[in-house]
Amino acid sequence: MSEYDGQITVRQLYYRLVAAQVIENTQKSYRRLDAHLVKWRKTGLLPMDAFCDLTREPVAPNLWADLSDFFDTVRRAYRRDPWQSQSCRPEVWCEKEALQTVFSPVCREYGVVLQMCRGFASVSCLSEAAERTKHVLYFGDFDPSGESIGESIARELPNTHRAKAGLVRIALTSEQVEQYRLPPAIPKPTDSRTAAFVARHGERAVELDALPPNVLQELIRDAIEACITDPARWDEETGREAEEREKLRGMV
């Protein structure tokens, strides 16, 4: 857990342990790990807030103590759009909601939209994205569904939603599986896409979560920075943001 900065999900830890060949990649192993983590948190061996549950996030209203508190939030929240002077505005799309805590910090740093697909993207999700972006940086599992999800997004955005959008698969690829020596599992035989996937890649499948978080974040950062077409204008925008923050501080 020391390789993660902040909260993680139980599933993230599970797949890292699978990648390290500490536990088997089975539902029984996952349930056993989950039970142990519950017990260790209840008995104080682990902090209660060591893990987050992204499926049960509360919906809280925005409230402030007074106007001064509100204006302080406004001052801290201001960000100038650095992409307005670039010819490309990318978005990062990830198949796995469990990886949101790994992806969010990097996307926030660069002012990039992060879209958690939670499997195949819905029609509503794609329709809204068609109005926003022309360049999708996709991260998914190296398995039949993960490959198909990326292909579906690349096909549906231009064909169904008339978006002038392209998709680049950043991870997980066959080359990365080899490079980082990620232990494969047998693709799910119940998946209708398995036969075609096995014909292309052989009988091996790996979860995106198996990549170390620092490697994932480096891949995200490199992919985003490759989309900065005019570095000088980027620096100019970030410099103006700093000036405008000071101006806003005085106004507040």
Whether the CB-CB separation of 167 and 160 falls below 8 Å is answered with no
What local confidence, expressed as pLDDT, does residue 235 receive?
95
With 80 as the cut, is the pLDDT of residue 52 above it?
Answer: no
Q: Where are the beta strands (DSSP E) in the chain?
A: 90-94, 113-116, 135-139, 166-171
What local confidence, expressed as pLDDT, does residue 59 receive?
79
CATH 3.40.1360.10 domain residues, the chain: 69-232
Per the prediction, the chain carries an average pLDDT of: 87
Q: Express each pLDDT in 12-28 by its tens digit.
A: 788 778 777 788 878 88
Return d(Cα 205, Cα 208) in angstroms, integer: 10
Whether the model clears a pTM of 0.75, i.e. scores above it, the answer is yes
With 80 as the cut, is the pLDDT of residue 81 above it?
Answer: yes
Structure token pair of residue 95: 């198949």
What local confidence, expressed as pLDDT, does residue 119 receive?
83
Residue whose entry in the numeric block shows the structure tokens 């209840």: 42
Overall average pLDDT of the 195-220 stretch: 92
What is the β-pairing status of strands 113-116 and 90-94? parallel
Q: Express each pLDDT in 26-42 by its tens digit.
A: 888 888 888 888 888 88
Domain over 69-232 is classified CATH 3.40.1360.10: yes
